[in-house]
Structure 1
Amino acid sequence: MSARLVQIYLPEHRIAELEAILARHSRRFWRESVPGGQEKFSCIVQQRYTERLLEELDQNFAGEPSFSAYVQRLEAALPPVEETAETELRIDPDLPPPTKLERFFSRDRLSTDELYDDIEGSLHVTPSYLLTVTLSAIIAALGMRAGQTAVVIGAMIIAPLLGPTMGMALAATVGKRSLGREAAITLAIGSTCAVVAGGIVGLALPIDPLVSELRSRTIVNAADVALALACGAAGVLAFSRGASLALVGVMIAVALVPPLAAAGVYTGAGFAAAGGNALFLFAVNLVCVNVAGIAMFLVQGLPPKSWRMTSGILALWAVILVLLLSMMAGRIFLGFGSWEAVLEYLPGGI
């Protein structure tokens, strides 16, 4: 059931305002007195209404020192909380009702606050984050070196770059600069750690540069772009509906962690040109994930604070993607985008 239990605490003199707000967002709510001159309201809210309820509560009561609100997932309720086009709650009767497409995409999405809460802990550079990134890259590097796809998938399940990647797309969508800055810094530091970890593997162990798992990370083609766009869109879609973070992590990591690890492995083993190609693949994938992620957040009805800012950031990512695709097309046209071209730069004339 797509519903939430929202508990709200307010002083008694603000109750009339709260009751008017709840009537617009919930059909079931009840009141009880609690110590300290507070009144507690509990209400059952359809998941798709949670976003607008929390926004209105914040607008009206953020300045009230004793105000607080808590949101919990609701597993079941009797009688069931059902909604149809005829019985839906409309915040403004003068506005047209949402289309079937808007209702379909937004009905199961988590609220913005819930999305923030899910990724907030993974946006900080902590010892555990650095260790997780390093171990994930080492596992991926060893798996690619041995040509073992299952090991590479295991590295992606760890998904250390999930939080900052989702954070960048979310920040761009809602126009929150501080979130975007923190996510970008965390992603940059994590990516550097992944390359260094891969480099250690390349230095410490003999590397066969022709292993398919490694070689495939040095060539960028249209299929890679389509894969990265699909991974970004599917990852955001699953993430915004509260899917397992391991599942979402695999979708995102498949486009980010292996190229970073491959870049480190090739560079550490002395194949700088191949390492540069792997970093180029990572750059293309990162841009694709952000473009698809922002677009998917918008499709699901995530409310931007400034459409000008959000559209500007999306346009900037799109321009960067076009430039990278132009570079990819030029490399292929000039013969630099194939593995045969890379072989010319390998030591020993392989």
Structure 2
Amino acid sequence: MSTRLLLVFVPDEDIPIARELARRCASRIWVRPAEGEMESLACVVQARYVERLVDALERELGERPGFCTIILPTEAVIPPLYETAATAHPRSGNDRPPSRLESFFSRDRLSTEEMYDDVEETVRIRYSFLFTVLISALIAGLGMRSGQTAIVIGAMVIAPFLGPSIGMAMAATIGDHRLGRRSSLALAFGAIACVTFMALIGRFITIDPTVPELLSRTRVNPADVVLALASGGAGVIAFSKGSSSSLIGVMIAVALVPPLAAAGLLFGSGHGHLALGALILFATNLVCINVAGILTFLFQGLAPRNWRVTAGTLMVWVLLLVALMGLTLPRFLA
């Protein structure tokens, strides 16, 4: 069973409160003195209760001087903890009990704090992010130009935009404007850099727009929308469980860099109409990732700070998807 080790540091006089809160969620608890007039509380918590305990600690002790909570993954616990009815911790107060669907989807997922920490590292605009975007675009562009699928897949695995796109979905779900702004800026910056760089490349090399690998990135079919929605949901599930190996398949299934690289090459070589089609494919994939991502996060029990904001944001993404499908449906039917 997935567990976490929580280290909680509080002033001496607050240790009874911390201990009582930990008893409601933790299976094993230890208390020891810390530096100064502080106490440290260590507890082993089943993954499904981490977020409940962290929220309770933050609510009750967040304003105390020196308060700090550290969440650590555990490789093993001996003797082991088994997930049974006997290990279940009932909710207290007016907390709404989770539905069966929420319990099923949220089992063994990372807490919101852990996911936030993971995604925050991917939305920082640094030279390493820009370098990764340009290298990924160059590999994808040259692979599409020569019709070599294996090279394009290599660029998909790099996937520099997967983190910002999942960050946008997570921000919309919990209503975190700061994370949403940073994710959007990182993705917009990377997308503009990608298209600009590949447009410059396209001016100096010969581009054949009829190459299947390149041409396929200029069209949006209904199957592409279904694939992007399914991949977006799978990506969020893999991300929320910390399954980095599962994310590789998602990167390949719904890639954002190849359409942008194709758009840049086609713009640079004078095929503006096809380049617009590639940008529409990129936008469709991005919108699908966010629609599926928000719904999946909600199914996993991520609590929005404001349901009206979350529902409104989801509706905007759905309307954008409908609009994009409206732009591409006539071409598909023709």
> Normalization by structure 2: what TM-score?
0.95
Taking the aligned partners of 1:326 and 1:171, their CA distance within structure 2 comes to 27
Distance 2:172 2:329 in 1: 28
- Would you say the 8 A contact 2:11–2:65 is kept in 1? no
Match of 2:165 in 1: 165
Distance 1:247 1:159, change over 3 A: farther
2:224 maps to which residue? 224
> Aligned in 2, Cα 1:247/1:78: closer, same or farther, shift over 3 Å?
closer
Instruction: For residue 255 of structure 1, give the secondary structure of its aligned residue in structure 2.
Output: coil
Number of the residue aligned with 1:109? 109
Mark the CA change 1:95 to 1:65 in structure 2 (over 3 Å): closer, same or farther: closer
Label 1:169 to 1:97 Cα distance change in 2 as closer, same or farther (>3 A). closer
Q: How does 1:50-69 map to 2 (within 5 A)?
A: 50-69=50-69
| 1:248 aligned partner | 247
Q: State the TM-score, normalizing by the size of structure 1.
A: 0.91
CA distance in 2, matches of 1:197, 1:181: 24
Matched, 1:294 2:294: yes
The one-letter amino acid of 1:173's match is T
The aligned counterpart of 2:151 is: 151
Cα deviation code 1:1-49 (max 9, x no counterpart): 3100001111110111111111111121011112212111100001011
Q: Does 1:121 align with 2:121?
A: yes
What amino acid maps onto 2:250 in structure 1?
Answer: M
Gaps in structure 2 of 5+ consecutive residues: none
CA contact (8 A) 1:159 1:250 kept: no
For 1:95 and 1:138, locate their aligned partners in 2 and report how far apart those are by CA, in whole Å: 51
- Residue 232 (structure 1) shift: 0.8
State whether residues 174 and 310 of structure 1, in contact with CA within 8 Å, keep that contact through their aligned partners in structure 2.
yes
Matched residue type, 1:242: G
Equivalent pair of 1:235/1:249 in contact (CA under 8 Å): no
The separation in 2 between residues aligned to 1:166 and 1:96, in whole angstroms, is 27
Letter in 1 for 2:11: P
Contact 1:157 1:247 in 2 (8 A): no
**Residue 321 of structure 2 corresponds to residue 321 of structure 1:** yes
| Structure 2 CA distance for aligned equivalents of residues 267 and 94 of structure 1 | 58
Query: In 2, distance between residues paired with 1:138 and 1:95?
Result: 51
Q: Is the 8 Å Cα contact of residues 123 and 186 (structure 1) preserved in structure 2?
A: yes
Q: Deviations over 1:102-125 (max 9, x none)?
A: 322111110111011112122121
Does the alignment pair 1:90 with 2:69?
A: no
**Alpha-carbon distance change, 15 to 117 in structure 1, aligned in 2, over 3 angstroms:** same
The within-5 A match list for 1:3-42 is 3-42=3-42
Where 1:27 maps in the other structure, the secondary structure is strand
Report the aligned-residue RMSD: 1.7
Counterpart of 2:66, as a letter, is: S
What letter matches 1:91 in structure 2? Answer: R
